[in-house]
Structure 1
Amino acid sequence: MMMRRVAASLVPPWLEPLLTTSFFAACPSHSDAARSECNMYCLDCSSSTSGAFCFYCRSDRHSGHRVIQIRRSSYHDVVRVAEIQKVLDITGVQTYVINSARVLFLNERPQPRAGAKAAASPHTCEICARSLLDPFRFCSIGSGGDN
């Protein structure tokens, strides 16, 4: 993943750990329970080794903390705009509507194959040159969050 060109003091301390966290594994503490996939992330505990956790771990260990839920779209991690815009400047990052919710991709996605038919777009990500649907500057939070 290419790193954003951002002054370190402007980047929240939880952002880089969030972007490198693996989500959607079964929770080792609650593997027998429903809703036990690790799709939550605590912005207040991110400097520790907490990483991703499940719905039940949130209740147990993160009560009162700023927690965001990570979702999946086409095998890629996304976060709802309504959750992340409270804590991160997402100006210039391409948003998408998926299942009636406006979302952002956490990280860059692979470019479409060269042989695939894709509509030419005058808008591209400043970091990875991915085609964008609208006049945004970045394709994901990993490319331009807190730009």
Structure 2
Amino acid sequence: MESGGAAAAAAPAWLQGLMAETFFSGCGAHQDRRKNEKNIFCLNCCRSFCPHCLPSHLPSHPLLQVRRYVYQDVIRLDDLEKLIDCSCIQPYTINSAKVIFLNQRAQSRSSSCKQLNGSGNTCFTCDRILQHPFNFCSLSCKVDHMVTRGEDMSSVLRRFDDSDFAISQFEGLLMDGSDHEGSGSHYEMGRGETSEGPEEPRLVRRNTKTKRGFMSMVSLNNRRKGAPHRSPLS
């Protein structure tokens, strides 16, 4: 029989399912559709499904959208804060939205070297380099730390309103997995991480007008390089 402390420390079913789920895998029910990746999680059923499954899912169930950044699952901080206290978890600003990584990420070689040198603040669970004053790099690292220490999970869980996660929030979600606002399921890949988190993705627009003007100038100069023609003497 489990002790009272262990029972109090257990994470609820929806939270365990969220951290254990494999997102962005193909949906078996819609293999013939484009963009059939599973990126919507039902907090009642504790399972994920793709946008094509929305019409057949129970409209009363609260739903959470998971997004993708540098091959990792992330959730918008505004959404996750309604479910669980995200304090001490380092957020990242991506495409003007703050997000939280769902699971622990692999350490880079440079981060491991910094860790050996004893520099920087590190995650309590996986020792990943963090900014001050954060203690965790992901939601799962915070949950694992609390469960290992036997802390009561109810102290960080929120009593959320189902209407905040209603199916209506996906009315603008296109069947290809993106939304009308252009900030769809996949965030664009940034150009690395700085001390302030991943850099904002940048768009590089080629100046085709300038290039065409330059080519016209070259063509004009080439025409002027012919043999000079003298006007006839009067």
Normalising by the smaller structure, the TM-score range is 0.7 to 0.9
Who is 2:33 aligned against? 33
Partners of 2:68 and 2:124 lie apart in 1 by 24
Following superposition, the deviation at residue 115 of structure 1 comes to: 8.2
**Does the residue aligned with 1:29 lie in a helix, a strand or coil?**
helix
Where 1:32 maps in the other structure, the secondary structure is coil
CA 1:121 to 1:67, structure 2 compared with 1: closer, same or farther past 3 Å?
farther
Q: How many residues align?
A: 138
1:81 paired to 2:77: yes
> Could you tell me the TM-score, scaled by structure 2's length?
0.53
Does 2:17 correspond to 1:21?
no
Regions of 4+ moved over 4 Å: 114-121
Q: Structure 2: where are the runs of 5+ without partners?
A: 144-152, 157-234
Q: Distance in 2 between matches of 1:133 and 1:59?
A: 42
Larger radius of gyration: 2
Contact 1:121 1:133 survives alignment (8 Å): no
Query: RMSD of aligned C-alpha atoms?
Result: 2.5
What is the one-letter code of the residue matched to 1:15? L
Task: Answer whether contact 1:36 1:54 (CA < 8 A) is retained.
Answer: yes
Displacement of 1:122 in angstroms is 2.8
Alignment-derived partner of residue 96 in structure 2? 100
Q: Distance in 2 between matches of 1:57 and 1:41?
A: 11
CA distance in structure 2 between the partners assigned to 1:121 and 1:64 by the alignment: 49
> How far, CA to CA, are the matches of 2:91 and 2:103 in structure 1?
13
Q: Secondary structure at the match of 2:140?
A: helix
Q: Which among 107, 110, 117 is matched to residue 106 of structure 2? A: 110
Name the residue aligned to 1:3: none
Gaps of 5+ in 1: 1-5
- Find out whether 1:90 has 2:107 as its counterpart: no
Higher helix share: 2
The change in CA–CA distance for 1:100 and 1:118 in structure 2 (over 3 A counts) is: farther
